[in-house]
A and B are shown apart, each in its own frame.
Chain A
Amino acid sequence: MRLRILGEIKLRSANALSCVSRSILILSLISILTASAAASPLPPASSAAKDEIERAVRVAGARDGEEATARQFFQAFVAVLARVKQHQLAAYVVGAINLRPDLSARIVAVAIKTAARQWETKQGALCGITRQIIEAAITANPAAVVSIVRAAVEASPESRQCVMAAAISALPGKEAEIRNAARPQSGSFAFMTLSDLDETGFFIASMSMSPANFSDLRGNADVNSPEQAPPSH
């Protein structure tokens, strides 16, 4: 009788042990899969995003993405991004970089500007999406890391820390270059960079405005607030 009970206990403990080890194995597999998914160089939707951008580029008048002028490419890319949800932005950045790696830095700048425009009131969310964009872009084109970081910081100076952290986490071996690229640039250099990026019309707003507008406004002493009562003419 005692032997039978002992045997039963042994059997149960063996079962429990195998159950625990199976659970550990499954849990390990899940965590490995999750980690590899997170570190995946290409977001799964980037191929579809690339096709969508390519279609839009053809609508803009180019034969294909590779032959499109920068203006055609960005006109299409910006129009596509207007519809894109926050969590899809990184995939579209990767799709665009795969289509035109030569425009990587400007693609990142446009994406960050778009994110800032859409989520300007949510700084926390903006940092998160900026990090996703930077990490995805650098993974897609590591050779362009310096120009990507520089363009990202120019596009959103307030996101400098997020940009730097994301870039270093994507490419830790290039930390020194990344820190250097993220450094605030002098006024003249910033202007040159902005001018260079201006073909899309997205980085030079204040300078693209007619100076006549400002002189008109400065010279006008009759300031009228729209929150004032209607004037009696």
Chain B
Amino acid sequence: MSFDSFELERSLAKRESSFSASLAWLIATAVLLTGCWEGTTRAVSATILATQGSARVKNESFSELLARPGLALSAGTVLQTVEAAQVDLAFLPSALTRMLGEGELTIDSLKLSEDGNETGDRILARRGAISLRAGTLFVVHRRPPGSAGTFLISTPHGTIVSNSDSLICVETSSQRLRVVSVRGSVEIVPTSGQKALSVDAGFLAETTPQTSTLMEAAGDADGQQKVTKAILAERELLALARRRQEVLAR
């Protein structure tokens, strides 16, 4: 074998190995990137399911409207209710709420992550965040099977985090935040910097700027009533949402 042919062979072998390395690198990158694929995320809007009494909504697009069933509310919308009012909302198919009495709620963000751009693509995650400045809110949060789901409720005294199936009642005012958990577990992160509280089913947590307490809901008359009302609210919300096909199938 002459020196030239030897060199040629060596260069071919080198090129072949570099091609194999590139191919391996490409495959590895593709595999790794697929592993990191979080799908496409888009903002969605909430829907008013039902109303009783007087409630108003306002955002950048429209100055002020009377809340009515079927009205879609995008991020940034503020919902204001007066005493004796009741507004049922589907923030996401996995997050239904009932706002009761005088209060104010702002939709911070509602996002869906899908496994592609098509309507029929699998939902990877449903994430919602709202702020409750004042009022009483019953929240039904269902983590969709096989996907992620988070619902955050910010209040003046702390943020409530629901990462799994839960049924809770949140009551906030300038003095305190009370959370009753009827099903599942939620976490409260107090704004005062106190230690986060985990509120399990059947428990009631109260947070003020000075203290955080946890007790059995059955040990408090108001807590007991909130459990009953939450169960009724859940049933009615699910029925309303099913009629509009805005709830996850179980």
Contact = CB atoms under 8 A, between A and B. Distances in A.
A206 B250 CA distance: 19
Interface stretch (A6-14, A27-35, A71-79, A162-170): A71-79
Contacts of A52: 218
A75 B228 contact: yes
Interface stretch (B1-9, B130-138, B240-248): B240-248
Interface in B46-85: 46-47, 49-52, 59, 61-62, 68-72, 74-75
Nearest to B46: A226
B110 A220 contact: no
B90 interface: yes
Interface stretch (B27-35, B148-156, B171-179, B219-227): B219-227
A124 B181 CA distance: 25
B165 to A, nearest CB: 9
Query: Which of A76, A201, A230 is the most central at the interface, judged by chain B CB atoms within 10 Å of its CB?
Result: A230
A109 to B, nearest CB: 13
A226 B90 contact: yes
Contacts of A232: 61
B217 A231 contact: no
Contacts of B59: 233
Interface residues of B, number: 59
Contacts of A81: 202
Interface in B136-150: 145
A231 B45 contact: yes
Given A78-B227, A79-B202, A79-B227, A59 B221 contact: yes
B227 A82 contact: yes
B239 interface: yes
B43 interface: yes
Contacts of B157: none
A61 B220 CA distance: 10
Interface string A162-181: 00000000000000000000
Nearest to B92: A226
A80 B217 CA distance: 8
Nearest to B65: A233
Nearest to A225: B246
Contacts, number: 147
Contacts of B72: 224, 228, 230-231
A56 interface: yes
B201 interface: yes
Contacts of A83: 200-203, 216-218
B92 to A, nearest CB: 5
B182 A82 contact: yes
Contacts of A61: 221
A232 B244 CA distance: 21
Given A205-B235, A225-B246, A229-B44, A82 B50 contact: no
B62 A233 contact: yes
B16 interface: no
B220 A228 contact: no
Interface stretch (A37-45, A147-155, A207-215): A207-215
Nearest to A200: B228
Interface stretch (A93-101, A113-121, A186-194): A113-121
A91 to B, nearest CB: 15
A224 B123 CA distance: 18
A217 interface: yes
18 contacts: A55-B219, A59-B224, A74-B228, A78-B224, A79-B202, A82-B182, A82-B183, A202-B232, A205-B239, A209-B240, A210-B50, A216-B68, A217-B49, A225-B244, A226-B47, A227-B112, A228-B45, A230-B44
Interface of B: 42-47, 49-52, 59, 61-62, 68-72, 74-75, 88, 90-93, 110, 112, 123, 145, 181-183, 200-203, 216-221, 223-225, 227-228, 231-232, 234-236, 239-240, 243-246, 250
Give the 5 A-B residue pairs with the shortest CB-CB distance, closest first: A83-B202, A230-B74, A82-B202, A205-B235, A233-B61
